[in-house]
Structure 1
Amino acid sequence: MEGPELSTSTGKQSWEIKAANKRASILANIPREWRLEPLDLEKAANQREITGSFIQQFLNEEEVTIIQKDSVSLVADIKDQNYTALQVTRAFCKVAAIAHQINNCLHEIFFDQALKRASELDDYVNEHKSTMGPLHGLPISLKDQFHVRGTDTSMGYVGWISTYEGRNDPHLTHKVDSQIVTELLSLGAVLYCKTSLPQTLLFGETENNIIGRTLNPVNQNLSCGGSSGGEAALKALRGSTLGVGTDIGGSVRIPAAFCGVFSIKPTHNRFSYRDVANVIPGQTTYASSVGFLGTTIDALQLIMSSVLSTQPWLRDPNVAPIPWRYDMSRNTLLRATDDGKAKSGSCLKLGIFWTDGVVTLQPPISRGLRLAVDALTKAGHKIVNWLPPPQKDAKRIHLSFLRADGHHDVHKQLNLSGEPLIPPLRETFGLEEPMSLLEYQRLTLEGRDYEAAYSDYWNSLTEEDGQAVDAVIMPVAPHAAVIPGKYYHTAYTEAINLLDYSVAVIPVTKADKNIDLPDKDFVPVSEVDAKNWAAYDPEIYHGAPVGIQIVARKYEEEKVWAIGKIVHTILEDYLKHA
């Protein structure tokens, strides 16, 4: 299935041909017995939802049983020898193969490498009578920013294909593992694929000139989000239970909320970014975080505690030397019963951020917030309205840093192949003069002052009753999984990147055309508010996942994970009895 090696009149491949060849090579790495018939592909293209029973029709009974398990159960099953690592890996490779064919969510497939690794792990158990580590035999997917020896990292740029981040360096190309990749392998993980992302990374949807667009498998009218969009889509299709992404403006949170899965964005230097590809890598004032996506909340704790057990700060001096603090997560969990109800005298105090005053929440999102408030209140937890310094200021500052180089880094990478910007980015990513150093320094101080003001506001709410706010519940976006091309407002996530707070995302409900009706008397407060409201169509959005983000302060990953677990438990029980 290799594409034609055609040449232009200059003797070089055109970017279109390079992209076509790459697409063909991805499909060529799928075993023939896992390739779908044209009729099946056509059925998938015309199906609103391709998760659950649709994708399971291509699997046998054992494979369905395996992929429906969560990460923690799979690790336990392999340890107890209920399944071999090879059985589990083969099942997830097969589902990932099918997922890509019907959802276009992978950039790299290295199943042969994964199956060999799984077989070696089984041999290890036979020889040592124990597993290699806490992730032994667990297939983990990676966003296509993470380097894995023997495979490409294109990061959505045509000019990066078959190179090391655009450089033709034989000492680096296909010969580097990102630090976190090395750590995952040392813990016994199996790596098998890399997932799709948008050109530039700086986009809340997933589209590039190599594979095109990745849609939302829960509702194919809509986007899977971005930039870790392929990761979330693969989770929704059960082609992965746990994966690694990144987040500089919402990139693990947006896709998780859009696809109905879980994610966590840590403070940026809690996990290693060493040898991870990135856009505008010299912009470190508001740096990107390595984050995680999973099909359960417990999967996130499993991978974070496991990776931190390797002491990543010894190999990456930028990582904060903070091991996983079991006491912090345990003490938070002990403030509620097993079903999430507040224990006497130890309830959670949670802020609720209803709107940023710039873009109004569409009906499914406002209902999701109300559900969370009702459920938490009935469970005995304390709710306070959250009215912090304007998040539009945080977005403006944060966005200024992402554009500070005048998009020169982006255009440098585009020029390697001559590929153009994808249509959604052409208006906003044109080449400009870089920001001056004096302006850069002025904005740095403005950002510093915003962080201080936000912290002061947080502290001020302790004065009311002597209890500090534990975390804040807020929208991820003003809409559920968005109609492609209609993502107009990213402040709900970007403001939190400027603060560099720890954030978990959990699913709440799904859009319902019979309940989530637009307000006929709605009056927009701005032009973008009007555009966002006009984009809402109950019929198109029906069935789209609705998620919320739970925001704690810096370096509170353990606490925000535990609060996410409590809130999710409460919501599950509440909706079951609603």
Structure 2
Amino acid sequence: MRVHKPSWQTRAAEKRASVLARIPEGWKLTPEDLAKAKSQRDITGFVQQYLGAADASIVASNASDIISRLKDGEFSALQVAAAFCKAAAIAHQIGNCLHEIFFDQALERAKALDSHFKETGTTYGPLHGLPISLKDQFHVKGVDTTMGYVGWIGSNLGIKDPSQAHKVESQITTELLALGAVLYCKTSLPQTLLFGETKNNIIGQTLNPHNQNLSCGGSSGGEGALQALGGSVLGVGTDIGGSVRIPAAFNGIFSLKPTPERLSYRDVANTNPGQNTYRSTVGFLSTSVTGLELALRATLSTEPWLRDPAVVPIPFREKVFDEYRSRAKMDGSASSKPLKLGILWTDRSVGPHPPISRGLRLVMNALTAAGHKVVDWDPPLQATAKRVHLAFLKADGGHDIHSNLDLSGEPLIPDLEATFKLKPPFDLLKYQGLTLEGLEYEAAYCDYWNSTASQDDNQIVDAVIMPVAPHAAVIPGKYYHTAYTEVINLMNYSAAVIPVTKVDKSIDVVPEGDDAYEPLNDVDKRNWEAYDPEIYDGAPVGVQLVARKFEEEKILAIAEIVTAALTQMGTYSGAILGANLRSTPGPDA
């Protein structure tokens, strides 16, 4: 007898319903509440009205503050977990940002941590009781990992051994639990992962909580949206072309993209996992810069290289962090040796929209006022790096992607139909030729960086400030140029994203007359024509700070300094050294 196999549409609908069904009845919003949220442009403060004063205080805190209060006994792990579970539940109902909910598991975990604290008087680890959200690539025992594919529903292994479904746990998941973290939800991502927006056939699209006309970014887009809504203060994502940096910039939060092999990717789901010339890397997103520091310190303290041979054995280097942090006072002003930072105004392929250019100027002005040095950055043409990097992402001709689509019969989402149409994979000689091109570009970029020491001050540039994208949180379907992030992946550099300001339609106007922008090419023209100050108004503007390979401690210290300098100038109120970012932007300098 032939067994009827449900359609992919049916499976996706059942999955959506099952996630909503895991939300406790008392936390479910009415149709009127949902309609109200849908009608608002900015919903970043919407969740708080459903929280009591204590819960609202908890979710408004930053990660380091929560850890401190848990350690002092001011908060219980159960109290914190319940607050974030409720906030995440409401965030998902209005923001469509979760793939998986396992609140019951989280609350039981929190109770066990409280028992440990009561019995021993000590915390379980450096992340004791801190709720951490996960991008839906990380395996948690007993929980689905769909990675945005309908065919993965009901397992966490895709086409791998079905007998191991729900039994596999990513190494970093194990590490977070060993550190005392509470895991409670997994966040939305795009089909294929290789997309700067968050959209798939299971949940549809995740939009930007600051401005629902716009995208939340991708591929760790659900993480960015959840944090913007107050449902998380620290999350784990991945980045192969900008996937923790884009959502951070688009949602007004912080992120860290380490060099691949600094953290463990063992047993993490991925697209085209055999492509390791330019590896995806595990990274962090947080509402505070100190949240990123906390996450990196804690994770490295587990010595992940002992369990994952791909990880380079580099513990957290206090000396490096302290050395760079000492280059400025707490307010960001320069001490005995000012920072020297390069600034990339344009990649000469697609020019930034007015709000991004203004954001770069704000950073330059804040740093200059703080006594640091800022110089123009003019590296080898980044179009070369973009072309080579993108070729590797598509080198298998889309065969891995289509094998996962075939599990359910679902189609590619319309946005990706042309990009990932099934093709023959690259032959070996072409693959090797592209590898050499990439290495040549890395060497040329390295030589340029070193050349900055030959200028008048004989001081090499410490880090580079550059756009994350040529626009703020993008209009859905109009993300035309990803080179600003991809070039950093090609060189495997360390990068952090910090928020700067928001689009202001009264300031970020379209230049006209003699000042009118002259597009450089067709892509630049399309990007420029997509800019509308009215539509973009209120969208966060962030920048990325870039250091070289394995310089995570350095870039975190510099991110703290730049954030402090911006806050001192009043550019982004509250964004200083770990302060909560869900505050109102101050006046621009």
TM-score range (shorter-chain normalised) is over 0.9
Q: Please give the secondary structure, in 2, of the residue aligned with 1:451.
A: helix
One-letter identity of the residue aligned with 2:44: T
**Is 2:34 the partner of 1:41?**
yes
1:360 is displaced (CA, Å) by 1.0
The CA deviation at 1:460 is 0.5
CA deviation vs aligned residue, 1:462-494 (integer Å, no higher than 9, x gap)? 011211110000000000000000000000000
SS at match of 2:50: coil
Counterpart for residue 201 of structure 1 = 193
Q: Confirm or deny that 1:561 pairs with 2:556.
A: yes
Q: 2:362 aligns with which of 366, 371, 384?
A: 371
Aligned position for 1:89: 81
Report the equivalent of 1:31. 24
Distance across 2 between alignment mates of 1:360 and 1:539: 20
2:259 corresponds in structure 1 to 267
Matches within 5 A, 1:339-350: 339-344=331-336, 346-350=337-341
Match of 1:510 in 2: 502
> Which residue identity lines up with residue 117 of structure 1 in the other structure?
R
> For the residues of structure 1 that align with 2:379 and 2:459, how far apart are their CA atoms?
17
The one of 416, 424, 428 aligned to 1:425:
416
Specify the SS of the correspondent of 1:433.
coil
SS of residue paired to 1:77: helix
TM-score by length of 1: 0.97
Aligned to 1:496: 488
Paired residue for 2:521? 526
Q: What pairs up with 1:110-129 in 2 under 5 angstroms?
A: 110-129=102-121
Q: Which residue of 1 aligns with 2:531?
A: 536
Separation in 1, partners of 2:519, 2:235:
39
| Other-structure match for 1:4 | none
Task: State whether structure 2 residue 211 is matched by structure 1 residue 219.
Answer: yes
| 1:418-446 CA-partner distances (Å, limit 9, x unpaired) | 00000110111100111010000001011
Which of 161, 165, 187 is residue 169 of structure 1 equivalent to?
161
Shift of 1:169: 3.4
Aligned to 2:15: 22
In structure 2, C-alpha distance between the alignment counterparts of 1:83 and 1:335, rounded to whole Å: 35
Partners of 2:162 and 2:411 in 1: CA distance: 27
Aligned partner letter, 2:92: H
Q: Does residue 244 of the first structure (1) align with residue 236 of the second (2)?
A: yes
Cα distance in structure 2, aligned partners of 1:522 and 1:97: 44
Distance apart, 1:378 and its partner CA: 1.0
Residue in 1 that maps onto 2:581? none
Of residues 11, 29, 33, the one that matches 2:4 is: 11
1:571 and 2:566 aligned: yes
- AA partner of residue 527 (structure 1): D
Alpha carbons 1:133, 1:186 under 8 Å: kept: yes
Q: Is the 8 A contact 1:163 1:169 kept in 2?
A: no
Correspondence for 2:540: 545
Q: Could you list the per-position Cα deviations for residues 298-330 of structure 1 after superposition, in whole angstroms to 9, with x for gaps in the alignment? A: 000001000100000000000010000011111
Uncovered stretches (5+) of structure 2, i.e. residues with no partner? 571-585
Distance in 1 separating the partners of 2:63 and 2:541:
23
Structure 1 equivalent of residue 378 of structure 2 = 387
1:71–1:299: 8 Å Cα contact kept in structure 2? yes
Helix, strand or coil for the counterpart of 2:207? coil
How far is the alpha carbon of 1:170 from its aligned partner?
4.4
Q: Taking structure 1 as reference, are residues 486 and 10 closer, same or farther at Cα in structure 2, changes over 3 Å only?
A: farther
The DSSP-based 3-state class of the residue aligned with 1:302 is helix
Counterpart position of 1:6: none
Using the alignment, how far apart are the partners of 2:545 and 2:5 within structure 1? 49
3-state DSSP class of the match of 1:87? Answer: helix
1:458 aligned residue: 449
* Aligned position for 2:575: none
Amino acid corresponding to residue 37 of structure 1 in structure 2: T
Q: Quote the sequence identity (%).
A: 65
Match of 1:474 among 466, 469, 472: 466
Counterpart for residue 444 of structure 1: 435
Tell me whether 1:308 sits opposite 2:284 in the alignment: no
Amino acid at match of 1:447: G
Shift of 1:368: 0.1
For residues 164 and 516 of structure 1, what CA distance do their matches in structure 2 show? 45
Matched residue type, 2:414 = P
Give 1:238 shift: 1.1
The answer as to 2:356 corresponding to 1:361 is: no
Query: 1:289 Cα deviation (Å)?
Result: 0.5
What pairs up with 1:80-159 in 2 under 5 angstroms?
Answer: 80-159=72-151
Is 1:62 equivalent to 2:18 in the alignment?
Answer: no
Q: 1:168 offset after TM fit, Å?
A: 6.6
Measured against aligned partners, the alpha-carbon deviations of 1:352-406 in whole angstroms (never above 9, x if no partner) come to: 0000111111010000001111111111111111000010000000000000000
| Letter of the structure 1 residue corresponding to residue 106 of structure 2 | A
Q: 1:10 Cα shift?
A: 6.3
Q: SS in structure 1 opposite 2:81?
A: helix
Count matched residues: 569
1:292 to 264, 284, 302: 284
Measure how far apart 1:172 and its partner are: 1.5
Counterpart-to-counterpart distance in 2, 1:367 and 1:177: 44
Alpha carbons 2:113, 2:129 under 8 Å: kept: yes
CA distance in 1, matches of 2:112, 2:385: 49
Kindly provide the CA deviation profile for residues 191-216 of structure 1, in whole angstroms up to 9, marking residues without a partner as x: 00000000000000000000000000
Paired amino acid for 1:41: L
Q: In structure 2, what is the Cα distance between the partners aligned to 1:399 and 1:574?
A: 38
CA contact (8 A) 2:143 2:156 kept: no
Deviation sequence 1:496-553 (CA, Å, 0-9, x none):
0000000000000000000000112221110011100110110110010000000000
Q: Secondary structure at the match of 2:341?
A: strand
- Partners of 2:156 and 2:25 in 1: how far apart? 30
Which amino acid in the other structure matches residue 546 of structure 1? Answer: V
CA deviations on 1:228-257 (whole Å, 9 max, x unpaired) are 000010110110000000000000000000
What is the CA–CA distance in structure 2 between the aligned matches of 1:201 and 1:215, rounded to whole Å? 16
2-side partners of 1:171 and 1:119: how far apart? 31
Q: How many Å apart are 1:165 and its aligned residue?
A: 2.5
SS in structure 1 at match of 2:471:
coil
Counterpart pick for 1:188 among 168, 180, 183? 180
Residues of 2 paired with 1:522 and 1:153: CA distance? 45
